[in-house]
Structure 1
Amino acid sequence: MSASLVETVDIEAPVAVAWSLWSDVTRWPAFLSHVRLVDRLDERRFAWQLQLPGADRNFVAELTEVVPEDRIAWHTVEGVHHAGVVTFHRLSDTSSRVTLQIEYDPQGFIEHLGALTNLDSVLANYDLGEFQKLAETAAAS
């Protein structure tokens, strides 16, 4: 059984600012609370270390699509099954909308519990809130 979530946040920052923050995967731990580390292996593949309640997870993800200032898509090639896409939408010269969509396979009780209680949605919402703060600070400077 796979689970999915979709979360959206509107940001008082241009698409270019949101894109530059998100397209640098090494910055993801700054706003993704469960991501401890992302290491670039090559142009398309990255090793992730996740820190989740009661479980740590490592996996390798590969970028499947990168369209500047529009979308970034990825899927895992080893470790946990997980795929996602983040899209960037221009609302105005100074604001944008970021949508995060994730499909995953909840393995084990902790992940099932998260999927059942919408913990994943809460976490994604929190992370997008952190991203929003980072992007708006960057846009203001």
Structure 2
Amino acid sequence: MSTVKESVEVGVPVHTAYNQWTQFAEFPNFMEGVENVTQLDEIHNHWTTKIGGVRREFDTEIVDQLPDERIAWRTISGDTQQRGMVRFQSLDNTHTRVELVLDVEPSGPAEKTADALGVIGRRVKGDMRRFKEFIEERGDESGSWRGRVTPG
């Protein structure tokens, strides 16, 4: 399993950055290779991705969510194995550090090669840069979900 860490400072308050990240259907606007994310209920999402010509569908489950602090998830179906956490840290009233830690188990020879060449890390870095651009251009979140999901 490979671990990728990336952080970005965004020019919006912590609640704005956090609220936008809870809008999973908006992920295709800034995540390369993500075609669609459908929120099934408060903790489950269905993803469709196409990376390197390979289309995958999988479901994720949020396992920990604390408003303005963190969201953690894991895959629960499909042939994509990952878990991750995004953390939000208020730097001041108008700036937030957003840190993503992603653990991915590449499946198949193409994905294993891409992982070995650092493609996953570069993709995450680009996604975080695009999230910064996306939220700063908007200036406000497109929606929010501020519920609490406790581990276990």
TM-score grouping bracket, smaller chain normalisation: over 0.9
Amino acid at match of 1:105: E
Structure 2 residue aligned with 1:16 = 15
Percent identity over the alignment is 28
Structure 2 residue aligned with 1:45 = 44
CA distance in 2, matches of 1:140, 1:55: 34
* CA RMSD after TM alignment: 1.4
Structure 1 residue aligned with 2:123 = 123
SS in 1 for 2:68: coil
Deviation of residue 20 (structure 1)?
1.4
Matches within 5 A, 1:87-106: 87-106=87-106
For residues 45-98 of structure 1, the C-alpha deviation after alignment (integer angstroms, 9 at most, x for no partner) is: 111001101311110001111100110110000111111110001111111100
Q: TM-score, normalised by structure 1?
A: 0.94
Q: Structure 1: which 5+ runs fail to align?
A: none
Q: Which structure has more helix as a fraction of its residues? A: 1
Task: State the aligned residue count.
Answer: 140
Q: Structure 2: which 5+ runs fail to align?
A: 142-152
CA distance in 1, matches of 2:43, 2:29: 21
Structure 1 runs of 4+ off > 3 angstroms?
Answer: none
Q: TM-score, normalised by structure 2?
A: 0.87
Structure 1 residue aligned with 2:69 = 70
Deviation of residue 138 (structure 1)?
2.4
Deviation of residue 140 (structure 1)?
7.4
Structure 1 residue aligned with 2:107 = 107
Is 1:29 the counterpart of 2:28? The answer is yes
SS in 2 for 1:124: helix
For residues 90-110 of structure 1, the C-alpha deviation after alignment (integer angstroms, 9 at most, x for no partner) is: 111111100011111111112
CA distance in 2, matches of 1:12, 1:103: 27
